[in-house]
Amino acid sequence: MESVLHEDRVFNPPESFRKTAHINSMEAYREMHRKSIEDPESFWGEAAGSLHWYRKWDRVLDDSEAPFFKWFVGGRTNICHNAVDRWAEGDKAGKKAIVWEGEPGDQRVLTYADLKREVSRFANVLKSLGIRKGDTIAIYLPMIPELAVAVLACARIGAVHSVIFAGFSAESIKDRVLDASSKMVITGDGGWRRGSVLPLKSVVDQGVRECDCVEHVLVVPRNPGGERMECEMQDDRDVWYDEAAATVSDDCPCEEMDAEDLLFLLYTSGSTGKPKGIMHTVGGYGVYTYLTSKYIFDLQEDDVYWCTADIGWITGHSYIVYGPMQNGSTVLMYEGAPNHPDPGRFWDLVDKHQATIFYTAPTAIRAFMKWGDEWVDKYKLDSLRLLGTVGEPINPEAWMWYHRKVGKERCPIVDTWWQTETGGVLLSPLPGVTPTKPGSATLPFFGVDPAVLNPAGEEVSTGLLAIRQPWPGILRGIWGDAERFKQTYWCNWDGKYYFPGDGARRDDDGYFWVVGRVDDVVNVSGHRIGTAELESVFVEHSNVAECAVIGVPHEIKGQGLVAFVLLRGTDADGSDELRKELNNLVAEKIGKFARPEKIIFSADLPKTRSGKIMRRLLRDIATGNALGNVTTLADPGVVESLKKKYSS
């Protein structure tokens, strides 16, 4: 944050890029933005007109029950039709939709015609197993084409998908499957990650053991038509996808969906222990991901677009599947790790597949910087014309490296700020228009009216980010918890603004600089982890009496987690063995990616006299900052002993 405050470099869009961009002048952007704010219904009505509707909407926006907004009320559409059929039935039938590469180097290409066939066949398999419109299906797959196909197949028949990132544990699968009452889990026999196979099926078996709602587990083979990987099948429940697919037709009509029918649930962490199922609906989400993709990635007919996210996160939903495909783009998809077999893998993929647009996370960029310039310098990267980042603030040093080493000072960078809840990007440069500043997500997208406010609702230069009016991609609620929805996002400023939970600064040019969360959510490598979620895992261990988890700056991951653990009894010095047990517990309950950087055992934690743990002081200890006010502490001596432990 410190370095961001002193950043004053400005980079203008290159002339060659500007010339062909969909939007290419600041005046045009300002004018369109003004119209979109003054008359959102006309603006979004026109945008939606580029998509296919079985029945046109009666009203663009219904805000009569705010904050439960409805968009394109009365309209009927199908997002799978918009993403697949529109192209498969026209002159793009032979255009590549998905170009996929597995970690071992195997490749598959699906044209839009192929994709329609595969999605329809998949949809028919779902139907043959009793899935109907409105049923929820959990998807736990590696990054193989069938993950995109499964998601689109659900959308095609109106089943609600709930994708669970394949790094989550059995316990996390269970929580999500039960919360959504999923009738089916789609998984695979395995996927490659860093040279070994993920045993997905056995994780699912463990996860659904107590889930009576699950009628079938559908198992997709990683190597279609090839050898299957070993997995145990339960007779009455488990079905091999390829066997079921052989018995159904590859023709399946799209279900006509109401614009406000649920499209998917995606679970994300908040500041309490329980993950929340974010709800997105068909119409508004469809229009919003379509338009943001078109303008922010400036999608053109011959682009090869690569977003390195996993479809298990919102970025993959919106900007691998729905957004680019509703624009008829060619999407590159990669299964494995960025440094397998060596740290040049991403650049090798860019050159080999001639990617033109590359969208990744600051964490990845920082990892590449650490691995050394020689890996990126080995490749041409001359096909690239646009770069993007997402998921966390990018430090100017990483931005400059990305600009020089990957973009060769030729490609604009779009730093896109958004969230699972927002459905699509809210703040971002437009690549042919906006002068960029390293570390700033710059200006709002159309229809987005942001402000930086203090708790009293006054505009300030540094404070809380707030969004004044709804946009079509806004979440429709938290599954099963309307109260939490209102409490979390609409509790400030009399419910007049959406509150994303981020802090931001606005500079003299009106640019936004998002500096990170202001709640108890920590962003580790772009993955959101609630500190409360982790704390509740630690206290499940019989030796742990109490625990406080905080986020600390981390060179590569942006933020890392540190756990301060108070043990039961008189033992203040937990063993390495116990440390291992606690790490395993986190892996088992949430997933390996949530394991903390450091676990500090202690005989006491800094608390106020009323017993509240002072996390602010723990943060000061962990960052080596001067300690804030300690006079309210019950026992000021605790801090000194923790400081010693932390640095030892």
Smallest distance from the beta carbon of 217 to ligand WTA, in angstroms?
A: 27
Q: Which of 320, 327, 325, 318 is nearest to 295 (CA)?
A: 327
Assess 363 for contact with ligand WTA (CB under 6 A).
no
Compare residues 313 and 564 and give the one whose CB is closer to ligand WTA: 313
Residue 75 or 463: which CB sits closer to ligand WTA? Answer: 463
CB of 144 to ligand WTA, least distance (A): 22
Which lies closer to ligand WTA via its Cβ, residue 43 or residue 418?
Answer: 418
- The phi and psi torsions of 250 (rounded to 5 degrees) equal -105, 30
Task: Write the DSSP string, 138-182.
Answer: EEE--SSHHHHHHHHHHHHHTPEEEE--TTB-HHHHHHHHHHHT-
Helix (H, G, I), strand (E, B) or coil at 297: coil
Instruction: Kindly state whether residue 308 participates in binding ligand WTA, applying the rule CB under 6 A.
Output: no
The correct pick among 327, 419, 436, 559 for binding ligand WTA (CB under 6 A) is 419
Among residues 441, 466, 532, 544, the one that binds ligand WTA under rule CB under 6 A: 441
Q: Would you count residue 360 as binding ligand WTA (CB under 6 A)?
A: no
Applying CB under 6 A, does 498 fall inside the site for ligand WTA? no
Dihedral, 355, 361, 365, 368 alpha carbons, nearest 10: -80
> Per rule CB under 6 A, is residue 418 in the interface with ligand WTA?
yes
State yes or no: residue 436 binds ligand WTA (CB under 6 A): no
Cα(427)–Cα(524) distance, rounded to whole angstroms? 21
What sign does the dihedral 629-632-636-638 (CA atoms) show? Answer: negative
Q: Does 532 contact ligand WTA by CB under 6 A? A: no
Query: Kind of pairing, strands 216-220 and 238-240?
Result: parallel
> If binding is defined by CB under 6 A, does position 292 make contact with ligand WTA?
no
Binding residue for ligand WTA, selected from 470, 500, 530, 560, defined by CB under 6 A: 500
Residue 448 in contact with ligand WTA, rule: CB under 6 A: no
Burial class (CB in 10 A: 0-12, 13-18, 19+), 546: middle
**Token pair for residue 282?**
């068909």
Give the contacts of 479 (CB within 8 A, at least 6 positions apart). Answer: 179, 180, 265, 276, 277, 278, 279
Smallest gap from Cβ 521 to ligand WTA, in A, equals 7
310 in contact with ligand WTA (CB under 6 A) = no
Mark out the alpha helices in 254-356 (DSSP H runs). Answer: 282-296, 314-316, 323-326, 345-353
Candidate ranges 239-247, 284-292, 309-317, 403-411; the one touching ligand WTA (CB under 6 A)? 309-317
DSSP 577-606: HHHHHHHHHHHHHTBGGG--SEEEEES---
Among 136, 326, 523, 602, binds ligand WTA (CB under 6 A): 523
DSSP secondary-structure letter at 217?
A: E
Give the CB-nearest residue to ligand WTA.
Answer: 420
Contacting range for ligand WTA; rule: CB under 6 A; set: 363-371, 414-422, 590-598, 630-638: 414-422
As given in the structure block, the two tokens for residue 350 are 């860019």
* Site map 383..412 versus ligand WTA, x via CB under 6 A: -------xxxx-------------------
List CB contacts of 289: < 8 A, sequence separation 6 or more. Answer: 318, 319, 322, 323, 326, 423, 424, 473
Residue for token digits 């990018």? 394
Q: Which of 288, 305, 322, 417 binds ligand WTA (CB under 6 A)?
A: 417
Mask for 314-333, x = binds ligand WTA (CB under 6 A): xx------------------
Q: Does 416 bind ligand WTA (CB under 6 A)?
A: yes
Residues 6+ apart with CB under 8 A from 478: 276, 277, 278, 279, 484, 485, 488
Q: Closest approach of Cβ 513 to ligand WTA, in Å?
A: 9
95 three-state secondary structure: coil
Q: Least separation, in Å, of the C-beta of 505 and ligand WTA?
A: 12
In the complex, the residues that contact ligand WTA under the rule CB under 6 A are 268, 313-315, 390-393, 415-420, 441, 500-502, 514, 516-517, 523, 528
